[in-house]
C-alpha cells in the first residue's frame, strides 16, 4: 500500500491518498524542476505518457522563459519585433485579454518595473521617484501590437514578462498532451498553478490552500474536477528592504509593489492560463475590488486572504469547500512527521 503523498508546493499544497486496492487505478507521481519551480504530475498514466507532458512544459519554457537569452520572448524583448510562434501569440493575446478584464492591473509589459524592483531587492535600496517614473513610461499593454504572426513592441526598451501567466499556459498545454494520449485522470501542478483533470484516486481532486504565513498549515481544502486552481501569494517570492516585505507582484499604474494586502489570492477557473493571470491581476486589485471582479466573471470563483487575515470567498466558492478540513490536517501532520 502506498501511503499519503504530501505535495508541498509553495503556493498551494495538494495532497492525495494513494491506495493499492485491487483493481483501483494506479496513480503515478513524478516531479521535475522546470520553469523555476517544482512541477508535479500525478496521473493515472504510464511513465511515458507523463514524460510527454513534461516535454511539453519544457517546450513552452524554452519559448517563454525570461531567464534564457535563447527563448522566443527574450528575442522579442531584444529585437522589439519578431514573427512569433502560435504559442507565444496565444499567450500574449490572452494576457492582453486579462489586462482588459482587470483594467490594467494585470499587464505583461511590467518587465522593466520588475527588473527595477529586483535590483532594489539586491541592493536593499528603494527605487527613486525618478527611476520609477522613467520605467513606468515603458509600461502599458496597449503598446503591444499583434499583426497576423508578427508581434511588435511600440516603445524602445519595453520588455514583456510572462511570469504571471506562462506557468498556467504550460499546465494547460501539458493537460492537452495527456488527453491526446488517452489520459483521463491527472493533476499537473507548476508551483501552485494547476489543473485537475477528471478524478483523483478517490473522486474529485483535493487541493489544500496554504496559510500565507504558517508554511505548514492548510487554511482550507477544496474539491475540484476539470478545473484549474492558481494561487498568487506574497510569501514565496518577495524582497526585504529596510525591514519591509515587498512582493514580487507590481502595480503597473503606480509602479509600487503590492504590499501587505492581500496576502494570497486563489482562483478556480476552467483553464490554468486564466486562473494564473487572474490570480496575479486580482492580487494587484486588492481584496475589495478583486472580489468584485471575481464575482462579476462567469465560471470564475476565488478566495482572497487579506493582510489582516480576513478571508473573502466568491459567491460560488461554497461548492468547492471540503467538509473535513480537520481530518485532512491531521493526516497531513501525520505525513509530515514521517
Ligand atoms: P504569479 O506568481 O503568477 O502571481 O506571477 C508573478 C510574476 O508575474 C512576477 O514574478 C512577475 O514576473 C510578473 N508580474 C508582476 N506583476 C505583474 C502584473 N501586475 N501583471 C502581470 N505580471 C506581473
Ligand atoms: Mg499568475
Query: CA–CA separation, 199 vs 209, rounded Å?
Result: 19
The number of the ligand 1 atom at minimal distance from the alpha carbon of 277 is 3
Among 70-84, 127-141, 244-258, whose mean pLDDT is lowest?
244-258
The number of the ligand 1 atom at minimal distance from the alpha carbon of 230 is 3
Whose C-alpha lies nearest to ligand 1, atom 5? 164
The three cell numbers locating residue 268: 478556480
Whose C-alpha lies nearest to ligand 1, atom 12? 163
Q: To 10 degrees, what angle do helices 272-285 and 86-101 make?
A: 40
Backbone angles phi, psi at 9, to 5 degrees: -70, 160
109, 112, 118, 124: CA torsion to nearest 10:
-130
pTM, 2 dp: 0.90
Report pLDDT digits (tens) over 212-264.
Answer: 888 778 889 999 999 999 999 876 667 777 777 778 899 999 999 887 667 89
**Termini Cα distance of the chain:** 15
Taking a 5 Å cut-off on Cβ, the residues next to ion ligand 2 are 164, 276, 279-280
Closest CA to 170 of 268, 11, 58, 252: 58
Q: Which residues have CB under 6 Å of ligand 1? A: 106-108, 110, 114, 161, 163-164, 232, 248-250, 252, 276, 279-280, 284
3-state secondary structure of 213: coil
Burial bucket for residue 316 (CB in 10 Å: 0-12, 13-18, 19+): middle
The number of the ligand 1 atom at minimal distance from the alpha carbon of 280 is 4
Query: CA–CA separation, 132 vs 28, rounded Å?
Result: 48
The number of the ligand 1 atom at minimal distance from the alpha carbon of 283 is 4
Amino acid at each position: 500500500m502506498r501511503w499519503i503523498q504530501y505535495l508541498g508546493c509553495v503556493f498551494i499544497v495538494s495532497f492525495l491518498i494513494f491506495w493499492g486496492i485491487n483493481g483501483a487505478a494506479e496513480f503515478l507521481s513524478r516531479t521535475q524542476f522546470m520553469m523555476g519551480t517544482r512541477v508535479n504530475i500525478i496521473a493515472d498514466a504510464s511513465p511515458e505518457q507523463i514524460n510527454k507532458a513534461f516535454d511539453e512544459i519544457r517546450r513552452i519554457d524554452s519559448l517563454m522563459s525570461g531567464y534564457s537569452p535563447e527563448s522566443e520572448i527574450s528575442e522579442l524583448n531584444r529585437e522589439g519585433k519578431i514573427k512569433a510562434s502560435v504559442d507565444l501569440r496565444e499567450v500574449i493575446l490572452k494576457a492582453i485579454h486579462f489586462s482588459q478584464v482587470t483594467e490594467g492591473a494585470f499587464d505583461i509589459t511590467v518587465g522593466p518595473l520588475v527588473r527595477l524592483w529586483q535590483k532594489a531587492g539586491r541592493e536593499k535600496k528603494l527605487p527613486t521617484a525618478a527611476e520609477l517614473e522613467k520605467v513606468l513610461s515603458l509600461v502599458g499593454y496597449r503598446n503591444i501590437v499583434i499583426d497576423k504572426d508578427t508581434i511588435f513592441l511600440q516603445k524602445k526598451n519595453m520588455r514583456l514578462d510572462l511570469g504571471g501567466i506562462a506557468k498556467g499556459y504550460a499546465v494547460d498545454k501539458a493537460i492537452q498532451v495527456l488527453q491526446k494520449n488517452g489520459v483521463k485522470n491527472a493533476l499537473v501542478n507548476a508551483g501552485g498553478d494547476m489543473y485537475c483533470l477528471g478524478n483523483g484516486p478517490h473522486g474529485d481532486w483535493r487541493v489544500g490552500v496554504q496559510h500565507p504565513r504558517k508554511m505548514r498549515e492548510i487554511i482550507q481544502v477544496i474539491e475540484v474536477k476539470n478545473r484549474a486552481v492558481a494561487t498568487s501569494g506574497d510569501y514565496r517570492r518577495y524582497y526585504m528592504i529596510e525591514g519591509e516585505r515587498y512582493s514580487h507582484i507590481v502595480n503597473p499604474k503606480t509602479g509600487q509593489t503590492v504590499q501587505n494586502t492581500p496576502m494570497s489570492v486563489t482562483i478556480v477557473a476552467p483553464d490554468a492560463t486564466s486562473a494564473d493571470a487572474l490570480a496575479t491581476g486580482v492580487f494587484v486589485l486588492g481584496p475589495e475590488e478583486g472580489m468584485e471582479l471575481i464575482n462579476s466573471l462567469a465560471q470564475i470563483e476565488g478566495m482572497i486572504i487579506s493582510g489582516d487575515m480576513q478571508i473573502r470567498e466568491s459567491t460560488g466558492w461554497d461548492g468547492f469547500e471540503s467538509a473535513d478540513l480537520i481530518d485532512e490536517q491531521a493526516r497531513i501532520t501525520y505525513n509530515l512527521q514521517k
